[in-house]
Amino acid sequence: MYAVIEISGKQQIVKKDEIIKVDRLNAEKGESVTVNRVLALGEGENMTFGTPLVKGASVIFEVLENRKDKKVIVFKKKRRKRYEVKRGHRQYLSVVKVKEIINS
């Protein structure tokens, strides 16, 4: 069974025991986080779609670590104008494991 959830303003497909990266959550390593914004739930013929959310459904995560992602280079240039700007950015992430998908 899998679920489509909304976390940090983004939609994510998750399955049980799957490890995913999401934007930084306000939780420390080893804590559990519950997400109630479930948009769809099930598998195959037994899919349940919410309008917009599935009532009583939730997904429980365990935070494995909080870290920074790989560096993304942002380079801007305008030709013949002597304009070049190079900047870098590292996004804060939480690596989480899906412990349980609850449908009530």
Residues 6+ apart with CB under 8 A from 97: 17, 18, 19, 61, 62, 64
Q: Domain residues for 18?
A: 2-65+95-102
Residue 74 lies in a domain: no
Residue pointed to by tokens 């365990």? 62
At 44, give phi and psi (nearest 5°).
65, -125
Q: What is the pLDDT along the chain (104 residues), one digit of tens a residue?
A: 999 999 989 999 999 999 999 999 999 999 999 999 999 999 989 999 999 999 999 999 999 999 999 999 999 999 999 999 999 999 999 999 999 999 98
On whether residue 71 sits in a domain, the answer given is no
> For position 104, what pLDDT does the model report?
80
Determine, yes or no, domain membership for 73.
no
Asked whether residue 48 is domain-assigned, the answer is yes
Number of domains the chain contains: 1
